[in-house]
Amino acid sequence: MDGRKHRWFILGASLIPLIAVAGAMALLWNEIFGWSDVVVLVLMYAVSGFGISTGYHRMLTHRSFETYKPIRVALATAGVMAGQGPPLIWAAHHRKHHRVADKPGDPHSPHLDFEPGFKGTMAGLWHAHLGWLFDVNLTSDPMRYCPDLVREKPLRWLSEHLLLVTAAGVVLPGLLAYALTGGDWRAGLTGMLWGGLVRIFLINHMTYAVNSVGHVFGRRRFDTTDQSRNVAWLSLPSFGEAWHNNHHAFPRSARHGMKWYEVDLSAILIWSLEKTRLAWKVVRIDPDRMEMREAGVSRVNAASMDKRELLETQQNIAPLAERRRDAREADASLVDVE
């Protein structure tokens, strides 16, 4: 697809859900809204949200856990229904992002080539949120960034039949609403609107917000080489993705919410799969390693320090500043995206 066709495709894919939201608001104003609409909206938001967070992101991109092929395909299919593009392209984009996060080559950093001040910040947020999708030159090559996934036939099929599966994700909530209401065709239509297009709009902008807001606003627990932030108020609707600084510190971790109070719905799902023996090789971060990173010590320079010294750095890490600067380039190995 050339640049012009690509831009028109992205524009259409962005405008259709937006127009659907406007239509849904008009129906709300006229009190045309039923319980079945709530059911299919919440259900499909959960399905597609887990598809992106657990499936596309943690399972495919970072290989945070292994599972049986039917579950793997189901999670990837749920991700396609979110309307965020083919799994192979999505994973390639994200692996590239981690390799050069907030540096030249990052497809959706809000910090590159933008003028200082409010105007530049807004331009960066727009680029990271949605603008980068319009540039065909920023499309990442799956053969370069995720050849392991390209070898999987189901993922190739889902990528090649993107529009069909995405459309099925719009029709499915309509059929469900139709069945729930005993054959009310109006409920079927509004179910497609709320559980299909409005839900796609909501889940997409939640993901986009992690890319944009999650690199500008929020708290930094770990001293990573990028500008990632933890955005607590986005954690629940993003299924745990908004613990973004945690994630950039430990990309392969199956759990992004690393404190007991950090809600991470995808981590709960992965834990449930593991407890029922439907998932294995779940990547967990050793508490000592996490403690060292939070103190500002990478695993690269930790080898030359004893545990007592590492713990002391929690109180005063200033003496380690020079060593941390020297190790920043070596810290690239912490990406662990493959």
- pLDDT > 60? residue 328: no
Establish if 185 belongs to a structural domain: yes
- pLDDT > 60? residue 77: yes
- Read off the pLDDT band of 330 (50, 70, 90): very low
Average pLDDT over residues 19-41: 92
Task: State which residues form the domain around 34.
Answer: 3-50+67-219
Establish if 181 belongs to a structural domain: yes
Note the pLDDT of residue 304.
45
Establish if 282 belongs to a structural domain: no
Establish if 46 belongs to a structural domain: yes
Helix (H) or strand (E) holding 207: helix 199-212
Average pLDDT, the chain: 88
Establish if 242 belongs to a structural domain: no
Note the pLDDT of residue 112.
86
Q: Is 317 left (phi over 0), alpha (psi -120 to 50) or beta?
A: alpha
- pLDDT > 60? residue 321: no
Question: What is the number of domains present in the chain?
Answer: 1
The percent of residues in the chain predicted with pLDDT above 70, rounded, is: 87
Establish if 58 belongs to a structural domain: no
Enter the pTM of the model: 0.87
Residue 338 CA to residue 323 CA, distance in Å, equals 27
Note the pLDDT of residue 197.
96
Residue labelled with tokens 């609107």: 193
Residue type, 34: G
Tokens representing 201?
Answer: 């709009």
Cβ(202)–Cβ(45) below 8 Å: yes
Per-residue pLDDT of 283-302, as tens digits, reads 999 988 888 888 876 554 44
Residue type, 305: M
- pLDDT > 70? residue 135: yes
Per-residue pLDDT of 142-161, as tens digits, reads 999 999 999 999 999 999 99
For 333, how many CA atoms within 13 A lie in the half-sphere containing its CB?
Answer: 6
Establish if 236 belongs to a structural domain: no
Establish if 55 belongs to a structural domain: no
